[in-house]
Amino acid sequence: MEWWVSMPKIELHAHLNGSIRDSTLLELARVLGEKGAIVFSDVEHVIMKNDRSLGEVFKLFDLIHILTTDHKTVTRITKEVVEDFASENVVYLELRTTPKKNDSIGMSKQSYMEAVIEGLRAVTAVDIDFVPHKINTQDSLNSIAMNDACDGTRRKKTYVRLLLSIDRRETTEAAIETVKLALEMRGLGVVGIDLSGNPDVGEWNTFLPALKFAQEQGLYITLHCGEVPNRQEVQPMLDFLPQRIGHAIFFEEEEWRQLKTSKIPVEICLTSNIKTESISSIDIHHFVDLYNAKHPLVLCTDDAGVFSTSLSNEYKLASTAFGLGKREMFELARNGIEFIFAGDDVKQYLVGAFDSAAKKLN
């Protein structure tokens, strides 16, 4: 197995409906095609298209949502997405999704999220830890050591935590409803809020009341920030002091300075930025500047399905494009532990898992 696959990894920026297998999407489209709800051949080439502008990506999401938004399918895709990440040694996954309402099929934001949690419970390929509970650190470390001693027999364990996304098309009231739901579902692995959706739509002030409320209530917050040029937004977003931001592409000089001073960790999604042509070529990606400045960074997939990538592939890509070796990439992955939206007990477990993997790194 290649080192970028076998090494433990942490995924902090993955959208559920962007991470679906093509084979599943095609199967769902075929079924809807047979029912006459869509024309399969029209949809097939949209799903299989490889390069899309950012605007086209959001049109694709509207299509994906038509295919996936029923309780049974939401459960299925959650299970598959988590199993896919676990199979490439993602030891900690923060999965984000936009709770959806669809009265015609009796779906509320809450029942959508219950279907997601059902999907986590349905995972059988690995042990999933998604409900926050006090971990006995010594027992965890013993179990890592024991598993190392009898390699091959251990069941893999993946931590999963959930972030509820506010879509930029939503109203203030809808965004507040999502935050309230996140608070109600805290005991079920929901740890924070993400602001995402088409960056050309909506205004920061619309979401601010909901985000402030989330912040006051102690939920973790990550914002898509600077995915398109928007002078009105980047600075207020940085002033808000979210725990992390995603992308950080279109920043002005002063905004870079503010970001670096604030030390807000950045979720970097290389393939997504290149495929949407937000960045024209990987060698000018801001990863390099932030990495050299030792700014907190974490490599992520964004939408592994839509962009035909995987977290392992993102590590391989960064290693090749920026001339970083296996050890540097391992350190980069391990540094991500500091920015996860989970408690010290989970962090300590992950440190143990990385330490144990480091012994096998040659």
**Which active-site residues does the annotation give?**
227
Q: Which two tokens stand for residue 147?
A: 């598993």
Q: Among 75, 78, 89, 97, which residue interacts with ligand 6MZ (rule: CB under 6 A)?
A: 97
Q: How far is CA 314 from the centre of its chain?
A: 13
CB 165, CB 97: distance < 8 Å: yes
* CA torsion through residues 16, 19, 20, 26, sign: positive
Instruction: Considering the complex, state which of residue 54 and residue 135 has its C-beta at the smaller distance from ligand 6MZ.
Output: 54
Q: Which two tokens stand for residue 154?
A: 């251990």
Contact set for ligand 6MZ, span 33-72 (CB under 6 A): 57, 61
Per CB under 6 A, does 11 bind ligand 6MZ? no
Per CB under 6 A, does 158 bind ligand 6MZ? no
Instruction: Considering the complex, state which of residue 86 and residue 300 has its C-beta at the smaller distance from ligand 6MZ.
Output: 300
Instruction: Considering the complex, state which of residue 69 and residue 335 has its C-beta at the smaller distance from ligand 6MZ.
Output: 69
Query: Is residue 248 packed enough to be buried (19+ CB in 10 Å), middle (13-18) or exposed (0-12)?
Result: buried
CB atoms within 10 A of CB 176: 18
Instruction: Considering the complex, state which of residue 89 and residue 276 has its C-beta at the smaller distance from ligand 6MZ.
Output: 276
In the complex, minimum distance from the CB of residue 339 to ligand 6MZ, in angstroms, rounded to a whole number: 19
Per CB under 6 A, does 15 bind ligand 6MZ? yes
**Listed ranges 16-24, 118-126, 201-209, 337-345: which one lies at the site for ligand 6MZ (CB under 6 A):** 16-24
197: left (phi over 0), alpha (psi -120 to 50) or beta: left
Q: Among 3, 7, 14, 17, which residue interacts with ligand 6MZ (rule: CB under 6 A)?
A: 17
Q: Among 78, 140, 158, 165, which residue interacts with ligand 6MZ (rule: CB under 6 A)?
A: 165
In the complex, minimum distance from the CB of residue 325 to ligand 6MZ, in angstroms, rounded to a whole number: 29
**Listed ranges 11-19, 78-86, 141-149, 350-358: which one lies at the site for ligand 6MZ (CB under 6 A):** 11-19
**Listed ranges 13-21, 103-111, 292-300, 342-350: which one lies at the site for ligand 6MZ (CB under 6 A):** 13-21
CB 315, CB 329: distance < 8 Å: yes
Per CB under 6 A, does 302 bind ligand 6MZ? yes
Q: Which of 188, 236, 224, 176 is nearest to 78 (CA)?
A: 188
Contact set for ligand 6MZ, span 121-150 (CB under 6 A): none
Per CB under 6 A, does 227 bind ligand 6MZ? yes
What is the 8-class DSSP label of residue 336? G
* CA torsion through residues 163, 169, 171, 174, sign: negative
Rounded to an integer, what distance in angstroms lies between the CA atom of residue 351 and that of residue 209?
Answer: 36
Instruction: Considering the complex, state which of residue 250 and residue 330 has its C-beta at the smaller distance from ligand 6MZ.
Output: 250
Q: How would you classify the pairing of strands 266-268 and 157-167?
A: unpaired
User: For ligand 6MZ, what does the binding mask look like between residues 266 and 295, x meaning CB under 6 A?
Assistant: ------x---x-------------------
Q: Which two tokens stand for residue 120?
A: 């986590």
How distant, in Å, are the alpha carbons of 166, 206, 231 from that of 55?
A: 18, 21, 19
Instruction: Considering the complex, state which of residue 160 and residue 353 has its C-beta at the smaller distance from ligand 6MZ.
Output: 160
Contact set for ligand 6MZ, span 173-212 (CB under 6 A): 196-197
Contact set for ligand 6MZ, span 313-342 (CB under 6 A): none
Q: Which two tokens stand for residue 4?
A: 């970028």
Q: Which two tokens stand for residue 118?
A: 């059902």
Instruction: Considering the complex, state which of residue 11 and residue 167 has its C-beta at the smaller distance from ligand 6MZ.
Output: 167
How distant, in Å, are the alpha carbons of 247, 250, 255, 272 from that of 202?
A: 18, 17, 21, 21
How distant, in Å, are the alpha carbons of 249, 253, 273, 321 from that of 280?
A: 11, 19, 8, 14
In the complex, minimum distance from the CB of residue 1 to ligand 6MZ, in angstroms, rounded to a whole number: 29
In the complex, minimum distance from the CB of residue 356 to ligand 6MZ, in angstroms, rounded to a whole number: 33
Helix 172-184 to helix 109-122 angle, to the nearest 10 degrees? 40
**Chain positions contacting ligand 6MZ, by CB under 6 A:** 15-18, 57, 61, 97-98, 165, 167, 196-197, 224, 227, 272, 276, 302-303
